[in-house]
Amino acid sequence: MYEHSVSATYCKLGAAAASNDWSVGDSCLARYCEDDLYYPAKIEEIREEKPDQPGYLVRYEGYGNTDWVSSDDIIPATSDDGSQEDGNVDMESVPDNASAKRHVHKTKK
């Protein structure tokens, strides 16, 4: 039951990212591949996204490390979608028709 709940939550988060236009320097919440949790981050670089190549290089704020993530793994860090600067997200504001993709990243935290 717990795994299903976690999976459903992150699927909803992925949908929020799909409709956003990102730019270098934007603040966001980015999923970290080692623990599948979202952390405050800034977008440092954008490249063409391919199925096996995530398109967004983010730097996790407060940690300093970077990771390449897909558009499914980032959400706005503003209250536009119910998220807050502390990383909490109001799931009522995230669309139900989400489909999240999981990417394997080699960068360590």
- Better-predicted residue by pLDDT, 17 or 9: 9
> Can you give the CATH number for the domain in which 71 is found?
2.30.30.140
Give domain status of residue 78, yes or no: yes
Which residues constitute the domain of residue 10? 2-88
Give domain status of residue 62, yes or no: yes
Give domain status of residue 105, yes or no: no
Give domain status of residue 99, yes or no: no
pLDDT band at 78 (very low <50, low <70, confident <90, very high): low
pTM: 0.56
Segment 67-71 mean pLDDT: 95
Compute φ and ψ for 14, nearest 5 degrees: -60, -35
The tens digit of pLDDT for each residue in 12-66 reads: 555 444 456 899 999 999 999 999 999 999 999 999 988 888 899 999 999 999 9
Residue 102 has pLDDT above 50, yes or no: no
Give domain status of residue 67, yes or no: yes
Q: How many domains does the chain have?
A: 1
Please, how many CA atoms are within 13 Å of residue 57, restricted to the half-sphere of its CB? Answer: 10
Distance CA 40, CA 67 (A): 13
Q: What is the pLDDT of residue 105?
A: 44
The tens digit of pLDDT for each residue in 88-100 reads: 455 554 545 444 4
Give domain status of residue 96, yes or no: no
Positive or negative torsion for Cα 67, 79, 89, 17: negative
Give domain status of residue 73, yes or no: yes
Please name the helix (run of DSSP H) or strand (run of DSSP E) that holds residue 11, with its range, or none. Answer: helix 2-18
Give domain status of residue 17, yes or no: yes
